[in-house]
Structure 1
Amino acid sequence: MVLTPEGLRFRGRLWPCTIGRGGVRADKREGDGATPAGVHRIVGLLYRPDRIARPADWAEPIGPSDLWSDDVDDEAYNLMVRAPYAGSHEMLRRPDPLYDLVILTDWNWPRAERGRGSAIFLHRWRRPGFPTAGCVAFRRDHLHRIAELIHPGTRLIVPQALDGRRATGGAVRRGD
């Protein structure tokens, strides 16, 4: 999978996607809203069993108490944690459908460098062109098809050449 200015190129097809509101950055930091440049491996696949069927035999269900720590001061920074959890976190079992299917990358994982940015997921977009907080987001049916085609270790390549580009409806454009 290779991110391009037009979308994600994968398996001979171009998949429209959106990226972080901070564009692509080689120097990703926590809270900058950027999608990090680099080669990222797929390390997990999560799904909401109350909403969708298991997308692959290696997919793990998202439970009601599953969270993702984005607390740079906690030892569990950039790891899945369970409620109750006092640190800053993101709910994985959201009321909206954005995380019904989540593909996990190895960005700053499993031994996170504090402040370098928490998880980069591939997930459903809110709507075409609406940027994420740093993740790569897709149309629902495209995300489900991609989940069927990947396996642990599949690479997501975000080229260094895209550094400084901003999110658009297709994928990325040159920054102002």
Structure 2
Amino acid sequence: MKRRIAKIRVHARPTDRCRGILSLGGVAYPCVLGRGGIVVAKREGDGGTPRARLALRGQIQRPDRGPRVPSLLPFRATRRDDAWCDDPADRRYNQRIRRPPGSAQECLWRADRLYDVVVPLGWNDGPVRKGRGSAIFWHLCREAGTPTAGCVAVDPAVFRKVLPRLSRRAVMTIG
């Protein structure tokens, strides 16, 4: 069996702060970053992708959108009422939650394909600091490649190639 990859590097392209390169195991893939580019002082809603070394906290995948992408990361299937709390005033800030219908939280069960496969990144989660940013994910990109709200996004084919090769303790270094 091939050696598992533990280090993922992400950096912005010099000509476009919203587009980047994701590198691991000697291979580079295009990725999309937040509309604010890579930022040092991350704040909720700023559109920036945080410059940081982030653990991969698991894999969440929508079960009705294709076969499970194999991985050693802890797995959980997305439920219709799954959301991520992005309200700094809520005690559950920056955590996966179950949302009541009509809730304004970041819904993980979406009509588009962005969250069909999601890897939550370990940003602002130990300890959580209100307003420092929430829901920093590694997820699928839009077909048009438009910027994210602060996440790292890749083409579905990249997830299919990369996730099976990752170590359970993989980290993503952004910046």
Note the alpha carbon deviations across 1:63-109, whole angstroms, 9 max, x for none: 01101100100010010110217864111010111100001111111
1:9: which partner in 2? 23
1:149: which partner in 2? 165
Describe the SS at the equivalent of 2:58: strand
The alignment-based identity, stated in percent, is 36
Mapping for residues 83-102 of structure 1, pairs under 5 Å: 83-84=99-100, 88-102=104-118
1:158 alignment partner AA: I
Unpaired segments of 5 or more residues in structure 2? 1-7, 14-20
Q: Does 1:54 align with 2:68?
A: yes
2:37 alignment partner AA: G
1:111: which partner in 2? 127
Report the number of matched residues. 159
Question: What is the TM-score normalised by the length of structure 1?
Answer: 0.84
2:47: which partner in 1? 33
For 1:87 and 1:134, how far apart are their aligned partners in 2? 21
For 1:114 and 1:85, how far apart are their aligned partners in 2? 25
Unpaired segments of 5 or more residues in structure 1? 160-176
2:9 alignment partner AA: V
Q: Quote how far apart the aligned CAs of 1:144 are.
A: 2.3
Q: Quote how far apart the aligned CAs of 1:129 are.
A: 3.8
- RCO higher in structure (CA 8 A, sep ≥6): 1
1:166: which partner in 2? none
Describe the SS at the equivalent of 1:146: helix
**Are the aligned partners of 2:34 and 2:147 in contact in 1 as well (CA < 8 Å)?**
yes
Note the alpha carbon deviations across 1:13-34, whole angstroms, 9 max, x for none: 0110010001111100000000
RMSD: 1.7
Question: What is the TM-score normalised by the length of structure 2?
Answer: 0.84
1:73: which partner in 2? 89
Q: Which moved more, 1:57-66 or 1:11-20?
A: 57-66
1:96 alignment partner AA: D
For 1:128 and 1:3, how far apart are their aligned partners in 2? 20
Describe the SS at the equivalent of 2:41: coil
For 1:155 and 1:128, how far apart are their aligned partners in 2? 27
1:163: which partner in 2? none
**Are the aligned partners of 2:12 and 2:37 in contact in 1 as well (CA < 8 Å)?**
no
